[in-house]
C-alpha cells in the first residue's frame, strides 16, 4: 500500500520531536547549566546588546575630550570619573537604552551616554607594560624595517587587523604592530 504525501508528513511530524527537537532541548539545558555553574567564562557565550543588537562586548572610542563616567545609566547618577582624551579606546560591556556601560584599559567601569562614543577603532600600545618601547614595522613581519618606536600607552587609530598584525597610525607614525600588543582589539578579531 502506498503512503500519500499528507500521511508521510504526519509520520515525520510524529517522530520529529524525539528525533530532532529533544537533542536540541538537551543541548540547551546543558548549556544553561554550564553557564550557571560558571564552567566557561562569560565571554564564551556570544551576547548582543539589548538596544543596538550589536555584539557585547565590543570596542569603541570616546568622541569627546570630556566624557563623564557615571555610576548608573542616567544623568541622575553620580559622576565617578571624567575622561579627558578624545579617541581613547573603551570596551562596551552592557547597554541600557541610550546608555552604555564601558571599561577602560585600567579597568575603570561606568556608564556613558551613547552619543559620546564613536565606532572609530583606536587602541593603546601595551598599556600593561609601562616604560617599554615597541617597534612599529613598515610591513606585517618581525624582520620588516622599523617605521617607529612607540612607548607603552601611546594611542593610535587602528586601520585593519589580520590574525596576528594590526596597521595603526597616529601623530608621526604609521605601520604594523603585533595584535597581542594592543588594548582595543580582540585576539580573534579581523577587519579591514
Distance of CA 70 to the CA centre of its chain: 21
Q: Are residues 109 and 53 in the same domain?
A: yes
Residue for cell digits 606585517? Answer: 140
The pLDDT assigned to 139 comes to 97
Pairing of strands 165-170, 155-161: antiparallel
Number of domains in the chain: 3
What's the mean pLDDT in 39-48? 62
Res. 32: pLDDT tops 50: no
Q: Are residues 147 and 176 in the same domain?
A: yes
Q: Are residues 63 and 90 in the same domain?
A: yes
The confidence band for 51, taking pLDDT boundaries of 50, 70 and 90, is confident
The pLDDT assigned to 44 comes to 55
Residue 179 lies inside a defined structural domain of this protein: yes
CATH code of residue 167: 2.30.30.40
Q: What angle do CA 180, 183, 184 make, to 5 degrees?
A: 110
Domain ranges, residue 16: 11-43
Torsion (CA) 59, 63, 68, 74 in degrees, nearest 10: -80
Q: Are 167 and 178 contacting, i.e. CB atoms less than 8 angstroms apart?
A: no
Residue 70 lies inside a defined structural domain of this protein: yes
Per-residue model confidence as pLDDT tens digits over 89-101: 999 999 999 999 9
Res. 17: pLDDT tops 60: no
Q: Which residues of 118-132 are buried (b: 16+ CB within 10 A; e: fewer)?
A: eeebbbbbbbeeeee
- Lowest model confidence (mean pLDDT) among 36-50, 102-116, 176-190: 36-50
Q: Are residues 148 and 178 in the same domain?
A: yes
Residue 52 lies inside a defined structural domain of this protein: yes
- Lowest model confidence (mean pLDDT) among 20-24, 38-42, 48-52, 166-170: 20-24
The confidence band for 177, taking pLDDT boundaries of 50, 70 and 90, is very high
What's the mean pLDDT in 30-48? 55
Asked if the peptide bond before residue 57 counts as cis, ω within 30 degrees of 0, the response is yes
Amino acid at each position: 500500500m502506498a503512503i500519500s504525501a499528507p500521511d508521510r508528513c504526519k509520520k515525520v511530524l510524529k517522530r520529529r520531536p524525539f528525533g530532532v527537537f529533544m537533542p536540541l532541548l538537551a543541548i540547551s539545558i546543558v548549556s544553561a547549566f554550564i553557564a550557571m555553574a560558571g564552567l566557561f567564562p562569560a565571554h564564551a557565550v556570544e551576547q548582543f546588546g539589548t538596544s543596538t543588537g550589536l555584539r557585547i562586548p565590543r570596542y569603541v572610542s570616546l568622541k569627546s575630550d570630556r566624557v563623564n563616567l557615571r555610576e548608573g545609566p542616567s544623568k541622575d547618577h553620580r559622576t565617578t570619573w571624567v575622561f579627558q582624551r578624545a579617541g581613547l579606546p573603551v570596551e562596551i560591556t552592557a547597554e541600557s537604552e541610550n546608555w552604555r556601560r564601558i571599561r577602560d584599559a585600567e579597568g575603570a567601569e561606568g556608564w556613558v551616554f551613547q552619543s559620546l562614543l564613536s565606532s572609530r577603532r583606536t587602541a593603546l600600545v601595551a598599556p600593561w607594560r609601562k616604560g617599554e618601547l615597541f617597534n612599529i614595522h613598515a610591513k606585517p613581519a618581525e624582520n620588516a624595517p622599523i617605521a617607529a618606536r612607540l612607548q607603552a600607552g601611546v594611542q593610535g587609530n587602528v586601520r585593519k587587523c589580520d590574525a596576528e598584525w594590526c596597521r595603526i597610525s597616529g601623530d608621526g607614525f604609521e605601520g604594523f604592530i603585533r595584535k597581542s600588543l594592543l588594548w582595543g582589539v580582540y585576539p580573534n578579531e579581523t577587519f579591514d
